[in-house]
Amino acid sequence: MSTPKIVLVTGAGAGLGRAMTHALTAAGHQVVAVGRTRATLDETAAAAPGPGGVDVVPADVTDPGAVDEVFAHITRQWGRLDVLVNNAGIFGPSKPIDELSAREWRQVVDINLTGAFLCAQAAFRLMKTQTPRGGRIINNGSISAHTPRPNTVAYAASKHGITGLTKALNLEGRAHDIAVGQIDIGNAATELTAGIAAGSLQADGSVRPEPTIDAAHVARVVAQTIDLPLDVNVPFVTVMATGMPYIGRG
């Protein structure tokens, strides 16, 4: 059994966030589940296995005031935060750059990158001052943090930004016992990747189906990372479907 921790998971209402929440409660952790829609968060909480628990806190991570309220709630209710999992994200429309509107660009960047920044900023403030001090932050990157898909300029840029955020926070966190890492996920089977198994546009212009993996495998890696002591960090880890066209010239 893991040492129980207080863990904030954003985007916890569905997909990877739900899988991560369930893996963490199964390991005995208390999860603060954040997302925009209470109904889906309640579904996550209702299906969560014990012995851990789920504290449902609806919030929009792109709203600085809402993020502050989440962390004020964590401080009142739980007294500390051990882990932040920055998971909230959207893929956005698949369009060539000249067809992408500024509004569509901002929506993807605001949720994927600015939301992660705001939550990490609030986590640093709490983790630096709590007793014992420190904690862990895990950012959800993507294979697209390294190699983009065609017609995904906003998503690719936001995920490359996550890599820069992870590196900067990793460096800044050392003085405060805050370990920061990133999990880059390839083709976990969620609502976000529903079309990939049927057929996805490739760099050569063809459309081909790609293999996917159960999101529970990704969640297990997150749970295992959280079990590590704070003097051990996993700066970057990639979890992907073995046969997806990423390694090599595919």
**Residues tagged active-site:** 155
Rounded to the nearest 10 degrees, the angle between the axes of helix 153-173 and helix 115-129 is: 10
If DSSP codes are grouped into helix, strand and coil, which group holds residue 177?
Answer: coil
Distance CA 221, CA 225 (A): 6
- Encoded tokens for 225: 């990372």
Residues forming beta bridges with residue 188, ordered by sequence position? 213
Instruction: Please give the Cα distance from 38 to 66 (Å, whole number).
Output: 14
With H, G, I as helix, E, B as strand and everything else as coil, classify residue 27. Answer: coil
Quote the tokens at residue 185.
Answer: 């996920």
Place of tokens 């690719």: 156
Bridge partners, residue 35, by sequence: 58
Contact indicator for 208, 202 with CB cutoff of 8 Å: yes
Give the DSSP H/E element, type plus range, for residue 183.
Answer: strand 178-186
Closest CA to 55 of 95, 6, 104: 6
- Is residue 56 within 8 Å of residue 42, measured between CB atoms? yes
